Structure 1
Amino acid sequence: MPRTGARGGPETRRRIAGIASGMFLERGFDEVTVAEIAREAGVSSVTVFNHFPRKEDLFLDRAFDAGELLRSAVRDRPEGMDALASLRTMTLGLVDSGHALSGVDHRSVPFFRTVADSPALISRAREIVDELERTLAEELAHDPSFDGDPALLAALFMAGYRTVMVATARRLLAGARTEDVVDAHRARFESLFEALRTGLPS
């Protein structure tokens, strides 16, 4: 029986995304239709698309949160902390808290498997990385205390973040336990920020 609840606002968005994610994880992304999700959530397909313009965004719904985290890392950092140090604090904080965006959340394996099994999700994930890169570059460009190249730092940071995440995802999908990859995952992020700060070793 369809669930009932508010028709609009953040609560409805979260509820729709939660229902959709559960269905995708259980049956696979390509096997679930938006109409089925709408029925289960007790809303219309139009309401689903009002909150999520693309079906893929129902599963990759953390993209908005990621963008807000990047903006906050630049805009709301403590006085005296540069943008790179703030990005490092944000990134390692996500890992240490086991955040869903860290790559080492306990739900990471089924999430990664669902994405890996869907060309549509893989393609959309790549687009999201590009969108986040632009978000970070724009935020840096508007920061009067940042005197570097906004586009270059954003590109290098996002490329490095993606590289670490993909490597960890492959290890988890190959059967490694989450607790066994956390230290290496964190160390690679540390290496990323060291390289961004001082350059790669010669």
Structure 2
Amino acid sequence: MTTEEPGRRERKKLQTRQLISDAATTLFIERGFDHVTVAEVAKAADVAVQTVFNHFPAKEDLFFDEQGWWLGPAQTIREAPPSTGASGASGLADVLEALEQHYLNGIRLRLQSGHLATWKAFSRTIEESPALLARRRKNAEEMETLMVEALQERDPRLTGLPAQLIAAQYAAAQKVLEAELARVLPEHPDSSQVADAEKALEQAVAVAFGALKHGLQV
């Protein structure tokens, strides 16, 4: 009796997880999150209900499958190149630069891969579901907490309010930029519209992070 290779088993698990996620996203966008059951997701993915829960502990996890947007900023802070300046302000500028690039890279990847083609429908699904709105708030709070921890690890001088304010301002900028994305991105964009949206978003990101770096200029 031969044993299946660990690498192959892991690939099969990832494929099953992606299959479930894709089936769930399609159903949620078509019918609304609150009108779809986990059993219906399992049927659409042709797996058992327990298999769904093995990969996604809660129904909301099926929708917010991608963790990068709320875990990525803290990781970016930790991986940002060390500052060459002597002041805390200089070090903070390096962090904000890294966060801006992280956000831009994420947007470009999603635009170019086509993952944002259903962004408006995705956003509407969240707005129409109290459960998803609550989970998004929870994810945002977790993102801020992790960012504060990462900032304090990077520079012990960033304790208390300064670190909390930086994290809160980033979260606010992200929320505003998501709304801008929904505004500039058509319902079903073609390649030229995606290119136009990317340019508009790059300008919006520059404005948002310029405010974080230098404060509002009025």
The TM-score bracket by the shorter chain reads: 0.7 to 0.9
Query: Equivalent residue of 2:57, what SS?
Result: coil
Q: 2:152 aligns with which of 141, 147, 159?
A: 141
* Cα contact 1:99–1:105 (8 A) shared by 2: yes
Does the residue aligned with 2:148 lie in a helix, a strand or coil? helix
Q: Deviation of residue 196 (structure 1)?
A: 1.2
1:171 deviation in Å? 5.2
**What is residue 5 of structure 2 aligned with on the other side?**
none
Alpha-carbon distance in 1 for matches of 2:107, 2:62? 23
Structure of higher CA gyration radius: 2
Pairing partner for 1:74 from 70, 73, 77 = 77
Distance in 2 of aligned mates of 1:71 and 1:129: 12
Cα drift, residue 29 of structure 1:
1.8
- Cα 1:199–1:175 change in 2 (3 A) is same
**Within 1, Cα distance between the matches of 2:21 and 2:196?**
29
In the alignment, structure 2 segments of 5+ residues that lack a partner are 1-8, 84-92
Unpaired runs of 5+ residues, structure 1, are none
User: Does 2:192 match 1:190?
Assistant: no
What code does the residue aligned with 1:109 have?
A: K
Cross-structure match for 1:12 = 16
Identity of counterpart residues, as a percentage?
33
In the aligned structure 2, how far is the partner of 1:99 from the partner of 1:135?
26
With normalisation by structure 2, the TM-score equals: 0.73
User: What SS class does the counterpart of residue 154 from structure 2 fall into?
Assistant: coil
Q: Please give the TM-score of this superposition, normalised by the length of structure 1.
A: 0.78
Post-superposition CA distance 1:119-177 (Å, at most 9, x none): 32223222222221122222222224874722211111011110121233245478996
Q: C-alpha distance in 1, partners of 2:15/2:74?
A: 23
**2:95 corresponds to which residue?**
83
Q: Which amino acid aligns with 1:198?
A: H
- The structure with the greater share of residues assigned to helix is 2
* Gap change, CA 1:25 and 1:43, over 3 Å in 2: same
The residue aligned with 1:26 is 30
Cα distance in 2 between the residues matched to 1:175 and 1:22: 15
The answer to whether the 8 A contact 1:98-1:105 is kept is: yes
Contact 1:74 1:139 in 2 (8 A): yes
- Structure 1 residue 89 displacement after superposition: 1.0
| Residue pairs, 1:1-202, within 5 angstroms | 9-62=13-66, 64-80=67-83, 82-99=94-111, 105-144=116-155, 147=158, 149-170=162-183, 172=185, 178-202=194-218
Number of aligned residue pairs: give it: 194
Shift of 1:31: 2.2
